[in-house]
């Protein structure tokens, strides 16, 4: 028996655009649902080695919620590459300066850690406020 896979041209023609309002959603639950759509797990032709996912536009990123004491305790780590170059930033500070990076980081960690995952992440567009420049694509509202 033979398994048929979609070609790249067929996949590109079937991609859809969705808009998600992150207001009052829990960060982890929102990120896992977005990662599932970016991977294409909601499609019947899903294959783990192909990028079949759709585009996702997230608005109101600064209004995403956390549970428990994570607002005070959660930190984001990065390293500059130099000796002693550890940089830690708190959730509150990250939410004030770059609220879109919170959702991007959470979704990135739920995608494959390879070229395929990096290409999937390019289909995620996150904006801190209500407005986004993707009205021409007619994104469908998405509720989880």
Question: Coil, helix or strand for 139?
Answer: coil
User: Looking at residue 10, what is its pLDDT?
Assistant: 83
Section 101-113 average pLDDT = 97
Q: Going by C-beta distance under 8 Å and a sequence separation of 6 or more, which residues neighbour residue 140?
A: 16, 17, 18, 19
Mean per-residue pLDDT, 90-119? 97
| Residue-level pLDDT at 13 | 82
Boundaries of every domain in the chain: 14-141
Whole-model pTM? Answer: 0.93
The residue ranking higher by pLDDT, 8 or 37, is 37
Which residue bears the tokens 């109101």? 60
Q: Is the dihedral of CA 25, 28, 29, 32 positive or negative?
A: positive
**pLDDT per position as a tens digit, 109-137:** 999 999 999 999 999 999 999 999 999 99
* pLDDT above 90: residue 12: no
Q: Into which CATH architecture does domain 14-141 fall?
A: Alpha-Beta Complex (3.90)
pLDDT score recorded for residue 7: 84
pLDDT for 123 equals 97
Report whether pLDDT(106) > 90: yes
Residue 25 scores a pLDDT above 90? yes
Whose structure tokens read 């130099």?
A: 82
Average pLDDT over residues 104-113: 97
3-state secondary structure of 34: helix
pLDDT of 55 > 90? The answer is yes
Indicate whether 140 pLDDT > 90.
yes
DSSP 8-state secondary structure symbol assigned to residue 62: G
Average pLDDT over every residue of 93-114: 97
Distance CA 133, CA 21 (A): 15
Name the nearest CA neighbour of 92 among 113, 74, 68.
74
Q: Residue 65, SS3?
A: strand
């Amino acid at each position: 028996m033979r398994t048929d896979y979609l070609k790249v041209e067929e996949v590109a023609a079937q991609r859809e655009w969705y808009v998600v309002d992150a207001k009052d959603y829990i960060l982890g639950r929102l990120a896992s649902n977005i990662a599932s759509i970016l991977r294409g797990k909601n499609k019947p032709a899903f294959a783990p080695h192909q990028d079949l996912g759709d585009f996702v536009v997230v608005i109101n990123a600064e209004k995403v919620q956390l549970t428990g004491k994570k607002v005070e305790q959660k930190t984001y780590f990065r390293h500059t590459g130099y000796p002693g170059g550890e940089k830690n930033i708190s959730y509150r500070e990250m939410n004030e300066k770059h609220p879109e990076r919170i959702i991007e980081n959470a979704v990135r960690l739920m995608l494959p850690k390879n070229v395929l995952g990096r290409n999937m992440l390019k289909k995620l567009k996150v904006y801190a406020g209500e407005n986004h420049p993707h009205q021409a694509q007619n994104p469908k509202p998405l509720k989880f």
